[in-house]
Structure 1
Amino acid sequence: MTNTFSFDPKQFDTKQFEAMFFGPARAYAALSVDYTEKLVNAQLDATKAYTETGLAQIRDLMNVKDAEGLRTYMEGQQQVAKDLTERLKGDAEKVVSLQQDFVQKSQKLAESNVKQAQETTTKAAK
Structure 2
Amino acid sequence: MNKATDKTTQQFESVFVSPMRSYTLTALDYYDQLFSAQMDAARAYSDMAIAQARTWLDVKDPDSFKKALESQQKTASDFMERVKGDTEKVTSISKSFAEDSQKQVEETTKKAVETAKQ
Bigger share in helix? 2
Pairing 1:56–2:54 present? no
TM-score by length of 2: 0.92
Deviating runs (4+, > 4 A) in structure 1?
9-12
| 1:71 pairs with one of 28, 41, 66 | 66
Q: CA RMSD in A?
A: 1.5
For 1:105, the equivalent position in structure 2 comes to 100
Tell me the SS of whatever aligns to 2:28.
helix
Work out which of the two has the higher radius of gyration on C-alpha atoms and give 1 or 2: 1
SS of alignment partner, residue 108 of structure 1: helix
Residue 33 of structure 2: aligned partner: 38
Among 15, 24, 28, the alignment partner of 1:20 is: 15
| Unaligned runs of at least 5 residues, structure 1 | 1-8
- The unaligned stretches of length 5 or more in structure 2 are none
TM-score in terms of structure 1 length:
0.86
Q: How many residues align?
A: 115
1:80 pairs with one of 53, 75, 84: 75
